[in-house]
């Protein structure tokens, strides 16, 4: 699993200059926006949606939780209870994988339930991985509510306009807007350093 920091089209701060999140007296709350994360997090081997993105986010989330950071995740409804906790990580659920009427379900229940879950998480930093319209929705939410946002690509193709592995042009446009409007972007590449990812999420150095 190799990733490295990538510049966005707008000016960005060098990694070493990322300032701490100004939250006197407490550590930042961190939310992983990962719709298919529940099977990996809960160890449910009978749900076939587990991949590298889910593994990476689970590892990082557990590491942060062990170090005392308030960590949450947003996942689709695979039958788990709202607010279920696993290894100190609270899980806010959104729509079920097959919920809603085709076409209409893009707005409801998918967008509406995601937006509500982002509010319930009440995080300071939101992290999302892979090319998906979810990146655009997360970026819009964070811009509206003054939160910090991080997107991590799963492939170099994620950053080639119009070439992402997305079925609809609508989703490509929303995703590309999201990449342009998040605070920090990581792309697939060589020389991944977990400390850089954690520093971007927490604003702190030396957790690893």
Angle between helix 133-145 and 169-181 (nearest 10): 40
Domain segments of the chain: what residues?
A: 27-201
Query: Where is pLDDT greater, at 195 or 87?
Result: 87
Whether omega before 48 lies within 30 degrees of 0, making that bond cis, reads: no
What are all long-range contacts of 81-89, with beta carbons under 8 Å and residues at least 24 apart?
86/41, 86/42, 87/41, 87/62, 88/62, 89/41, 89/61, 89/62, 89/65
pLDDT tens digits for range 153-184: 888 888 888 888 898 999 999 999 999 999 98
The encoded tokens of residue 55 equal: 């593994």
SS3 content of the chain, % helix, strand, coil (to 5): 40, 15, 45
The length of the chain in residues reads 208
pLDDT at 83: 92
Domain with residues 27-201, CATH architecture: 3-Layer(aba) Sandwich (3.40)
């Amino acid at each position: 699993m190799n990733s490295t920091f990538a510049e966005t089209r707008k000016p960005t701060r060098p990694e070493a200059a990322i300032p701490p999140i100004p939250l006197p007296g407490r550590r930042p709350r961190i939310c992983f926006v990962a719709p298919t994360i529940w099977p990996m997090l809960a160890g449910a081997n009978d749900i076939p949606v587990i991949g590298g993105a889910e593994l990476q986010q689970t590892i990082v989330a557990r590491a942060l939780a062990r170090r005392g950071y308030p960590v949450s995740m947003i996942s689709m409804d695979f039958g788990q209870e709202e607010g279920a906790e696993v290894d100190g990580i609270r899980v806010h659920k959104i729509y079920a994988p097959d919920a809603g009427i085709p076409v209409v379900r893009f707005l409801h229940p998918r967008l509406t339930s995601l937006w509500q879950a982002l509010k319930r998480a009440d995080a300071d930093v939101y992290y999302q991985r892979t090319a998906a319209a979810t990146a655009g929705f997360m970026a819009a939410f964070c811009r509206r509510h003054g939160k910090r946002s991080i997107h991590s690509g799963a492939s170099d193709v994620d950053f080639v306009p119009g070439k992402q592995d997305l079925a609809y042009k609508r989703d490509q446009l929303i995703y590309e807007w999201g990449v342009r409007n998040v605070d920090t972007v990581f792309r697939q590449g060589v020389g991944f350093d977990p400390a850089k990812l954690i520093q971007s999420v927490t604003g702190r150095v030396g957790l690893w």
